[in-house]
Structure 1
Amino acid sequence: MTTLTVTAKGQVTLKKELLQHLGVQPGQKIEVDPLPGGRLSITAARPKGKIEDFYGIVAGKTDKVATIEEMNEVIEKGWAGLLR
């Protein structure tokens, strides 16, 4: 179990290993849900919406022809909400 300290502002900082466990990167969001008995559920926030909303997000950003690897990287970042 990990113990966190609450600041005077009522904030806590999750340790790096906890964020890695959630699969959360800097700039991404987490969701916190209250549970009975004073417990919380913390999960990585997942993009909401339809895949169709993602189509064309990088269109016209460059004249370069992208490789499959580059396209996959952009797709991952876009779906994670890191591009807009």
Structure 2
Amino acid sequence: MRLNSKGQVTIPAEIRHKCGWRPGDEVDVLIDEDGAVRIVRRQGSLTRGQRATRRLRGTATTRMSTDEIMELLRGE
């Protein structure tokens, strides 16, 4: 990997997939006592589903009860 002029590196797709990292995930860069650099998922960061739920919360334009939704989905 090569450091660009902004001090950034691209983490290869194979490593991102192996770690389960997706765009928007938060990571921390840590330096061990021996000077090794580690990139780890940030503790307490929101999951992809939690981020999506937070982004969508309150955007519905129709109010329906659970029973109404179930009726709509099941066709009862």
**What TM-score, normalized by structure 2, do the two folds share?**
0.54
Identity of counterpart residues, as a percentage? Answer: 24
Q: CA RMSD in A?
A: 3.0
Aligned to 2:2: 5
2:11 corresponds to which of 9, 14, 21: 14
Partner Cα distance (1:36, 1:46) in 2: 20
Report the Cα offset of residue 9 of structure 1.
2.7
Report the Cα offset of residue 29 of structure 1.
1.5
Structure of larger gyration radius: 2
The 4+ residue runs of structure 1 with deviation greater than 3 A are 64-67
Matches within 5 A, 1:40-55: 40-47=37-44
Aligned to 2:59: 61
Paired residues of 1:22 and 1:43 also in contact (CA < 8 A): no
Q: Does 1:32 align with 2:29?
A: yes
Residue by residue over 1:13-55, the C-alpha shift from the partner in whole angstroms, topping out at 9 and shown as x without a partner, is: 101111112211111211111112220121122435xxxxxxx
Letter in 1 for 2:41: A
**What TM-score, normalized by structure 1, do the two folds share?**
0.50
Three-state SS of the structure 2 residue aligned to 1:19 is helix
In structure 2, the gaps of 5 or more residues are 46-53, 71-76
Q: Which has the higher contact order (CA 8 A, sep 6+)?
A: 1
